[in-house]
Amino acid sequence: MTDLIIRPAGAAEIPDLLAFWARAAEGTSITDDPAGVARLIERDPEALIVAERDGALAGTVIAGWDGWRASLYRLAVDPDQRRQGIGAALLAAAERRFAALGGRRADAMVLVDNELGQHAWRAAGYHREEQWRRWVKPLEA
């Protein structure tokens, strides 16, 4: 196995990213489509961080920064490569990005039923804040 490469995703990888998330991530998002991922990459080319090993996607994390909040989404690791430090390497890259941008705290979106994900976030030093609940409203295009 070769070394892990951590880098920003490119627009040409969008089909591979969507297929990877379908296999390696829990749940789906309203923006899990080519146009949604393309908008992310166009708006913030450094936000979608990928881990690559042997020329293939091994993991992803979205490190979104809006100037006020540092938000983490889509931490996913290839099921065949878990527990090899890929998630930790992705989170370290995201946290360095946030610190360089002036971020003070990173927030992660984790599905309530995603026990594996919750374990991974706890192992990375994150904790759940019970006083918060997410409120959403889909917007019309």
Summarised one tens digit per residue, pLDDT across range 55-81 is: 999 999 999 999 999 999 999 999 999
Summarised one tens digit per residue, pLDDT across range 78-110 is: 999 999 999 999 999 999 999 999 999 999 988
Do 46 and 65 contact (CB within 8 A), yes or no? no
* Per-residue model confidence (pLDDT) at position 31: 74
Amino acid (1-letter code) at residue 41:
I
pTM for the model stands at 0.90
Which residue, among 1, 3, 37, 35, has the nearest Cα to 17 in the 3D structure? 37
Do 86 and 51 contact (CB within 8 A), yes or no? yes
Specify the CATH class of 5-123 in words. alpha beta
**Which of the four pLDDT bands, split at 50, 70 and 90, describes residue 120?**
confident
CA distances from 48 to 7, 52, 92, 120, 138 (A): 9, 13, 14, 19, 22
